[in-house]
Amino acid sequence: MKYSKLNLAKEAINHKGFIKKIPDIFRMVRMWRKGIYPMKSIDIILPLLGILYVLSPIDLLPEFVIPVLGVMDDLAVLSLTIPKLIKEVDKFLLWEAHQKYSGAQVIDAEIVK
């Protein structure tokens, strides 16, 4: 089976709701750059560099020279970066919800069925 970067990108996108989290990734990076969201630089830069490496046409092991190993290095990078990026986005979403609802109080509530 022949793999291309486009097929690898499609497989990465299907990883546990990655498409749904793309706007959250951009929002997280924007808030981190403004200094609003506290996060270690390495926790966001490495996953983004990994995705950029897979999408870029430049490879350490090119697919046209070494077909199997060229795809394997991209899969290895994706298998390390996508879960890390999703984990960081989940942390960001929890932080964002805490910031949004930290001062909220329930004064009078009614359960409706």
Domain boundaries, the chain: 5-101
Is the pLDDT higher at 45 or at 5?
45
SS3 38: coil
∠ CA 93-37-88, nearest 5°, is 45
Residue from 61, 82, 71 nearest 1 by CA: 71
Q: What is the mean pLDDT of residues 80-108?
A: 80
Give the separation between CA 72 and CA 107, rounded to whole angstroms: 56
CB distance 54 to 77 below 8 Å: yes
Contacts of 27 by beta carbon, 8 Å cutoff, 6+ apart: 92
pTM of the predicted protein model: 0.66
Give the per-residue pLDDT at 1: 45
